[in-house]
């Protein structure tokens, strides 16, 4: 079972479009596979003969890397082909671990609020200023919840 989408972990064989013993060319549609997102046609990657269908139509939850069919070269005695044991999924590719920076300690600094009697001061971001002007709103009617008391 090939991976047909980035998030695919297993698939279902909906329908075989070729029969055992039938000649196939590279690009020919072999079967329809239902992934986690859609039904996708699996195309032959090489020319040859579809010697054996290992996983029948309607089979569900086939793991990635499982053998579903076998294509042999033309001229090969495909009637006596030995079917390999289930190879299982390919081994996971280990990614080199990136060193994670240790989280810096969070330091809480109290915000100084200067109060000048008779005036209210607000720190407005450009986006907040634009919204307030656009909707004719007064900043003194709201509560600043942004970092460092920014509206």
Per-residue pLDDT of the chain in tens (151 residues, 90 and over written 9): 777 777 788 888 999 998 888 889 888 988 998 888 888 888 888 888 888 888 888 888 888 888 888 888 887 776 666 666 654 444 444 444 555 555 565 665 555 555 555 445 567 777 778 887 888 877 777 777 777 767 6
> CA of 73: how far to CAs of 22, 25, 35, 77, in Å?
12, 11, 28, 9
- Report the topology of domain 10-80: OB fold (Dihydrolipoamide Acetyltransferase, E2P) (2.40.50)
- SS3 for 78? helix
78 phi and psi angles, rounded to 5 deg: -75, -15
Looking at domain 113-151, its CATH superfamily turns out to be: E3-binding domain (4.10.320.10)
pTM: 0.50
| Residue intervals in the chain for CATH 4.10.320.10 | 113-151
Q: Distance of alpha carbon 99 from its chain centroid, rounded?
A: 24
């Amino acid at each position: 079972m090939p991976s047909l989408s980035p998030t695919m972990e297993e698939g279902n064989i909906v329908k075989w479009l070729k029969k055992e013993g039938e000649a196939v060319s590279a690009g020919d549609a072999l079967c329809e596979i239902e992934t986690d997102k859609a039904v996708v046609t699996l195309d032959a990657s090489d020319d040859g003969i579809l010697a054996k269908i290992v996983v029948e139509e309607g089979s569900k939850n086939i793991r990635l890397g499982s053998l579903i069919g076998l294509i042999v070269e033309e001229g090969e005695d495909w009637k006596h082909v030995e079917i390999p044991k289930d190879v299982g999924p390919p081994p996971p590719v280990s990614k080199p671990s990136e060193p994670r920076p240790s989280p810096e300690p969070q330091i809480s600094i109290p915000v100084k609020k200067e109060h000048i009697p008779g005036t209210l001061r607000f720190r407005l971001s450009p986006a907040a200023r634009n919204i307030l002007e656009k909707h004719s709103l007064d900043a003194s009617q709201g509560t600043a919840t942004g970092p460092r008391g920014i509206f």
